[in-house]
């Protein structure tokens, strides 16, 4: 097939997770585009493949897309891969895919490993509805706003977090959720030191604080839905809107907590989510 871009998933740790189809496609294409060509070259070396590597990252994707589309329109076959897992998931690539579609170049997905789906499958959390947050802001008010929105979410939330920030994330989350609220920490999935642990946010916060090994490697966090948000009645929401129209969120949260029996901090998170 000519004029085609393959979007190829690669292992997130265990090389055996590469699919036979992915290997076949990578053997067939003329070049491989990747965010970090040095990292991806090691993967191809392990597979015994020698291909031209072309960088495609956040800083050059717009320019690179035009070049790669032109190559494919001239009959070359290309593959887009991620440093690990499925391309475009918290990684560059959507601009290249759009450029291919706009130019009539066929885009063919080659499914495979994905850290967020692997974590969800093993988290022990509701999976019928979920939201993928990716990496949240690293500091300041934007970070706190996202944490409060997560606390108020009535669906399972999947979060990527840097290892040096995971403890501060859990500490901040503990302040705005109920004592029963659960989270699952998934670390180094498919690798030698794979760790999956589920429990109340406060319990996992203490565990991570007491074990520095849990603050290393690749992390996915799966936060359970807020039962309070799910049980937030129409009357409660109507009252909340009336209070927010007249009072600061902190004062409205205190009144609503007394009215509903909910934890004030979690009510506050629900109100902040309504405001945003």
Nearest partner of 183 among 164, 193, 169, 194, judged by Cα: 169
List all residues 6 or more positions away from 62 whose beta carbon is below 8 Å from its beta carbon. Answer: 95
- Token pair recorded at residue 46: 């392990």
- Arithmetic mean of pLDDT, 95-115: 97
- Whole-angstrom Cα distance, residue 226 to residue 103? 44
Does 230 score more than 60 pLDDT? no
Q: What is the pLDDT of residues 179-215, one digit of tens each?
A: 889 999 999 999 999 999 999 999 999 999 999 999 9
pLDDT at residue 222, as a whole number? 98
Q: Give the residue among 1, 41, 42, 43 at the shortest CA–CA distance from 25.
A: 1
For the chain, the first-to-last Cα distance in angstroms comes to: 47
User: Going edge to edge, which strands form the sheet with 182-187?
Assistant: 130-135, 156-161, 219-223, 182-187, 195-200
When pLDDT is averaged across residues 90-105 and rounded to a whole number, the result is 95
Whether 236 contacts 251, CB under 8 Å: no
User: Does the pLDDT value for residue 228 go beyond 70?
Assistant: no
pLDDT in tens, 50-85: 999 999 999 999 999 999 999 999 999 999 999 999
């Amino acid at each position: 097939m000519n004029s085609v871009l393959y979007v190829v998933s690669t292992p997130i740790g265990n090389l055996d997770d590469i699919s036979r189809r992915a290997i076949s496609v990578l053997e067939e294409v003329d070049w491989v585009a990747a965010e970090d060509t040095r990292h991806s070259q090691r993967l191809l070396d392990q597979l015994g493949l020698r291909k031209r590597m072309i960088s495609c990252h956040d800083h050059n994707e717009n320019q690179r897309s035009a070049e790669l589309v032109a190559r494919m329109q001239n009959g070359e076959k290309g593959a887009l891969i991620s440093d690990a897992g499925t391309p475009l998931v918290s990684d560059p690539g959507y601009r290249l895919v759009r450029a291919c579609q706009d130019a009539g170049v066929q885009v063919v997905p080659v499914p495979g490993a994905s850290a967020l789906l692997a974590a969800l499958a093993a988290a022990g959390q509701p999976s019928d509805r979920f939201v993928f947050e990716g990496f949240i802001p690293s500091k300041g008010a934007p970070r706190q706003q996202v944490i409060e929105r997560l606390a108020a979410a009535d669906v399972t939330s999947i979060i990527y977090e840097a290892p040096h920030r995971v403890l501060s994330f859990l500490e901040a989350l503990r302040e705005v959720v109920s004592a029963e609220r659960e989270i699952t920490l998934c670390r180094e999935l498919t690798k030698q030191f794979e760790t999956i642990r589920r429990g109340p946010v406060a319990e996992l916060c203490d565990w991570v604080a007491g074990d520095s090994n849990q603050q290393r490697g690749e992390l996915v966090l799966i936060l359970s839905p807020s039962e309070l948000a799910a049980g937030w009645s129409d009357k409660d929401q109507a009252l909340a809107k009336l209070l927010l129209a007249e009072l600061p969120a902190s004062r409205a949260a205190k009144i609503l907590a007394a009215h509903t029996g909910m934890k004030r901090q979690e009510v506050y998170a629900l109100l902040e989510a309504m405001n945003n």
